[in-house]
């Protein structure tokens, strides 16, 4: 007996990915939310904290490429689900350590698995969504990151106050195991999902040129834009200017997010003089605005596409506006009152999130589905590289000088990143990539 189709099933899939991303960030952010407490208890310097942060970022960065290849090879359902189990267990194991080395080791294990969440989300976008909806999906993925950042300080500090900091790691890690069970039960490719309607399947297939390339998919081409041929060699992707444009943009602009992700609780307690309790009451505000920016940025570029503006041009239209707004963050060097500082930080994170939603979606717009996860892994690796480079000196700069040099630097990064996209990612990039891949596979 056939099961009744679920209307708009792809948006239920979006909800599943959204909650997976929330949990991913809760597990990541528990440490930074408890950083003021742990640095005092364990007598850590800012440089020590920077090293612990890098212990997460280095494997996180490398595994973007590895997880991208694995997802393209073995399928989204298997690799994404296994990664969720891995990072959940790694998050829970934080409760068993109490030294710089121990936290570094657990952060290493956590980072090795967490990048698969974002590569998997891009593959879901390619598998389940037509171009006009991909920006909205990615907006919800980015919203998942900031939702996790919003709720983690409240949850982690509350649990630490009542049952000790170890309880925060165990409880938040356990959420991922519940999510993984739901993922394995509910997620299938559109062609194989028992609850999809014929109308929605036709909508998803609209405009597709390729449905092949991993262990789960079958070829159902509507036009032979990229003919069946041997998969391009990995290094050949680096011959494409589009790869370099997106990669450099992530290297340059992502440090802004990593700073506010890892250092905002310490910034508010150390520079602004807040108590840990008061910080936990207000630190969610900038992340909430980032949530709004994530969804709004993807939604607006989708509206431009619906008006028959090309996908690449639509994403870049949003990106140039947001890039030109980011220098306003340098006003923080003036040490404004706390409400004004929070307003500036909120604005910066909202604008950055709108920028990143469109930057991330360009990968799915430009590259064919069979290689989307691999390419996204390469590009997202740039975000990890930028974050790791930033974290390697951020703690030392704060210890020796102050937060001021970092705030000035972050004000100019997005305009520089946009120049990379402007020069290397042209409006005809999709056709150019398909032609180049054809040539390389012959």
What number is the average pLDDT over the span 178-195? Answer: 93
What number is the average pLDDT over the span 306-323? Answer: 91
pLDDT in the model for residue 223: 32
Helix (H, G, I), strand (E, B) or coil at 75: coil
Residue 212 pLDDT > 70: no
pLDDT in the model for residue 431: 54
Which range of 66-70, 98-102, 260-264, 414-418 scores highest in mean pLDDT? It is 414-418
Helix (H, G, I), strand (E, B) or coil at 427: coil
84-116 confidence digits (pLDDT tens): 999 999 999 999 987 888 989 999 999 999 999
Residue 235 pLDDT > 50: yes
pLDDT band, very low/low/confident/very high, at 350 (cuts 50, 70, 90): very high
Cα–Cα distance, 298 to 108 (Å, whole number): 32
pLDDT band, very low/low/confident/very high, at 438 (cuts 50, 70, 90): low
Report which of residues 204 and 83 the model is more confident about. Answer: 83
Report which of residues 298 and 279 the model is more confident about. Answer: 298
pLDDT band, very low/low/confident/very high, at 21 (cuts 50, 70, 90): very high
Residue 203 pLDDT > 60: yes
160-173 confidence digits (pLDDT tens): 999 998 999 999 99
Residue 427 pLDDT > 80: no
Least confident of 19-23, 191-195, 381-385: 381-385
Percent of the chain with pLDDT over 70: 89
What number is the average pLDDT over the span 307-335? Answer: 92
Which range of 126-130, 172-176, 284-288 scores highest in mean pLDDT? It is 172-176
Least confident of 173-182, 213-222, 360-369: 213-222
Report which of residues 438 and 85 the model is more confident about. Answer: 85
Q: Where are the domains of the chain?
A: 9-187+235-441
Of 94, 61, 76, 273, nearest to 172 by C-alpha is 94
Percent of the chain with pLDDT over 90: 37
Which range of 21-25, 123-127, 360-364, 397-401 scores highest in mean pLDDT? It is 21-25
CB-neighbour burial class of residue 99 (10 A; exposed 0-12, middle 13-18, buried 19+): exposed
Q: Is 9-187+235-441 assigned to CATH 3.40.50.1100? A: no
Which residues fall within 8 angstroms of residue 195, CB to CB, at 6 or more apart?
3, 4, 5, 6, 9
Residue 274 pLDDT > 50: yes
What number is the average pLDDT over the span 299-315? Answer: 88
DSSP 267-292: HHHHTS---HHHHHHHTHHHHHHHHH
pLDDT in the model for residue 153: 84
User: pTM for the full model?
Assistant: 0.70
Residue 1 pLDDT > 60: no
Residue 434 pLDDT > 80: no
Of 246, 233, 248, 283, nearest to 262 by C-alpha is 283
134-156 confidence digits (pLDDT tens): 877 878 887 888 788 788 888 99
DSSP 114-142: HHHHHHHHHHHHHHH--HHHHHHHHHHHH
Mean pLDDT in the chain?
84
Residue 290 pLDDT > 70: yes
Element (DSSP H or E) covering residue 215? none
Report which of residues 162 and 214 the model is more confident about. Answer: 162
């Amino acid at each position: 007996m056939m099961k009744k189709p679920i209307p708009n099933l792809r948006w239920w899939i979006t909800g599943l990915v959204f909650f997976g991303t929330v949990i991913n960030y809760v597990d990541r952010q528990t440490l930074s939310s408890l950083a003021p407490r742990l640095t005092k208890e364990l007598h850590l310097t800012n440089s020590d904290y920077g090293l612990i942060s890098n212990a997460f970022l280095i494997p996180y960065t490398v595994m973007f490429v590895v997880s991208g290849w694995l997802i393209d090879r073995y399928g989204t359902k298997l690799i994404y689900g296994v990664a969720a189990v891995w990072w959940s267990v790694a998050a829970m194991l934080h409760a068993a350590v109490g030294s710089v080395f121990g936290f570094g080791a657990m952060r290493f294990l956590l980072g090795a698995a967490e990048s698969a969440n974002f590569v998997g989300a891009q593959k879901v976008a390619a598998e389940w969504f037509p171009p006009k909806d991909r920006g909205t999906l990615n907006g919800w993925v980015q919203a998942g990151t900031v939702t996790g950042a919003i709720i983690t300080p409240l949850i982690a500090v509350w649990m630490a106050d009542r049952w000790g900091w170890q309880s925060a790691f165990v409880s938040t890690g356990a959420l991922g195991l519940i999510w993984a069970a739901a993922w394995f039960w509910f997620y299938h490719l559109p062609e194989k999902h028992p609850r999809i309607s014929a109308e929605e399947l036709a909508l998803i297939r609209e405009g597709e040129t390729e449905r092949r390339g991993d262990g789960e998919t079958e070829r159902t081409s509507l036009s032979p834009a990229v003919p069946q041929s041997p998969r391009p060699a990995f290094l050949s992707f680096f011959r494409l200017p589009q790869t370099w444009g997106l990669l450099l943009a992530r290297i340059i602009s992502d440090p802004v997010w990593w700073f506010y992700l890892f250092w905002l609780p310490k910034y508010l307690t150390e520079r602004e003089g807040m108590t840990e309790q008061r910080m936990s009451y207000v630190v969610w505000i900038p992340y909430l605005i980032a949530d709004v920016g994530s969804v709004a940025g993807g939604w607006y570029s989708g509206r431009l596409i619906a008006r028959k503006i090309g996908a690449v041009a639509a994403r870049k239209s949003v990106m140039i506006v947001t890039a030109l707004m980011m220098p306003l963050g340098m006003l923080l060097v003036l040490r404004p009152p706390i409400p004004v500082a929070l307003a500036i930080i909120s604005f910066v994170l909202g604008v950055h999130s709108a920028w990143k939603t469109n930057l991330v979606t360009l990968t799915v717009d430009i590259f064919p589905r069979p290689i989307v996860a691999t390419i996204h892994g390469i590009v997202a690796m740039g975000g990890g590289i930028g974050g790791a480079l930033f974290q390697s000196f951020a703690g030392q700069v704060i210890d020796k000088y102050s937060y001021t040099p970092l705030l000035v630097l972050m004000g100019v990064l997005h305009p520089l990143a946009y120049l990379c996209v402007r020069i290397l990612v042209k409006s005809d990039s999709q056709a150019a990539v398909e032609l180049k891949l054809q040539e390389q596979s012959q």
